[in-house]
């Protein structure tokens, strides 16, 4: 078949699926901001404010076991462990009680953040795109199908660096649980199969360095391990 594209189309971004050779195609990545009270407080924000959304590019995903290159233009790369949910059935204006019917599966991920760039953007009222949406900024473990996962509203979520626990909380600590913030998002735009939602991070964010081994897990859902490698020149 002859292609009508003027350049070779980019490879489809995808995630591993637990227990399968098949992969989950990634369409968009939405991220929830300020969804754990202790993290809101450690960042100096008002926990009464509702969470909001920002995006990462689909091709920022990286599998467990990857070496994540330390990104350029930063001296303050931070870890943010998060529950990730994958949409399998699209929809708009989804009621909270119907959200589970739209979720294909879940995983643990890390929202890597160039904190120094984010701080500058906040002070100047600029978007967070360069702080959040850079290359390799979304390591995500293998997806577990929803019917095989435990609850999405409770269970330990943690992250360690070189064996030392840095973030340690429970999904029950979310201010807006999965059903609520996915419902809210679907009232702003139609969700589609392949969309991912990273659901916010608990307290304990801090700087990473080249050579750090980062491990993360959400109880009953999955684990993730990556190493921070040298910057790619």
**What band does 42 get if pLDDT is binned at 50, 70 and 90?**
low
Cβ 83 vs Cβ 173: under 8 Å: no
Q: Which of 48-57, 65-74, 207-216 shows the lowest per-residue confidence on average (mean pLDDT)?
A: 48-57
Of the pLDDT bands very low, low, confident and very high (cuts 50, 70, 90), residue 151 is confident
Percentage of the chain lying above the pLDDT 90 cut = 85
Mean pLDDT for the chain?
A: 93
Q: Percentage of the chain with pLDDT > 70?
A: 92
Q: What is the pLDDT of residues 79-111, one digit of tens each?
A: 999 999 999 999 999 999 999 999 999 999 999
For residues 156-177, average pLDDT: 95
CB-CB contact of 185 with 53 (8 Å): yes
Of 181, 151, 138, 191, nearest to 35 (Cα)? 181
Backbone angles phi, psi at 26, to 5 degrees: -105, 125
> Given a cut of 90, is residue 35 above it in pLDDT?
no
Query: Would you state the pLDDT for residue 49?
Result: 66
CB neighbour class for 223 (10 Å; exposed up to 12, middle 13-18, buried from 19):
middle
| pTM for this predicted structure | 0.93
Which pair of tokens denotes residue 135?
Answer: 């290359």
- In the chain, the domains with their CATH numbers are 14-229 (3.90.850.10)
Which residue is it, tokens 């931070």? 78
- Give, for 40, the enclosing helix (H) or strand (E): helix 37-42
Query: Is residue 112 within 8 Å of 128, Cβ to Cβ?
Result: no
Query: Which has the closest alpha carbon to 27: 115, 106, 88?
Result: 88
């Amino acid at each position: 078949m002859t292609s009508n594209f003027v350049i070779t189309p980019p490879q489809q971004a995808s995630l591993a699926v637990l227990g399968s050779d098949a992969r989950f195609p990634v369409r968009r990545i939405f991220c929830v901001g300020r969804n754990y009270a202790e993290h809101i407080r450690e960042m100096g924000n008002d926990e009464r404010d509702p969470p909001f959304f920002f995006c990462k590019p689909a091709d920022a995903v990286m599998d467990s076991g990857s070496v994540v290159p330390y990104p350029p233009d930063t001296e303050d790369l931070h870890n943010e462990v998060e529950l990730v949910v994958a949409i399998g059935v699209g929809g708009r204006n989804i009621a909270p009680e119907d959200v589970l019917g739209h979720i294909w599966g879940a995983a643990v991920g890390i929202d890597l953040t160039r904190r120094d760039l984010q701080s500058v953007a906040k002070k100047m009222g600029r978007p967070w795109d360069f702080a959040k949406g850079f290359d390799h900024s979304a390591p995500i473990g293998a997806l577990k199908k929803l019917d095989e996962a435990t609850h999405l509203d409770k269970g330990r979520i943690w992250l360690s660096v070189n064996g030392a626990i840095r973030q340690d909380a429970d999904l029950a600590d979310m201010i807006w649980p999965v059903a609520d913030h996915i419902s809210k998002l679907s009232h702003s735009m139609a969700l589609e199969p392949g969309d991912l939602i990273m659901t916010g991070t608990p307290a304990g964010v801090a700087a990473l360095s080249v050579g750090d081994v980062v491990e993360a897990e959400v109880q009953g859902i999955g684990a993730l391990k990556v190493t921070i490698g040298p910057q790619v020149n």
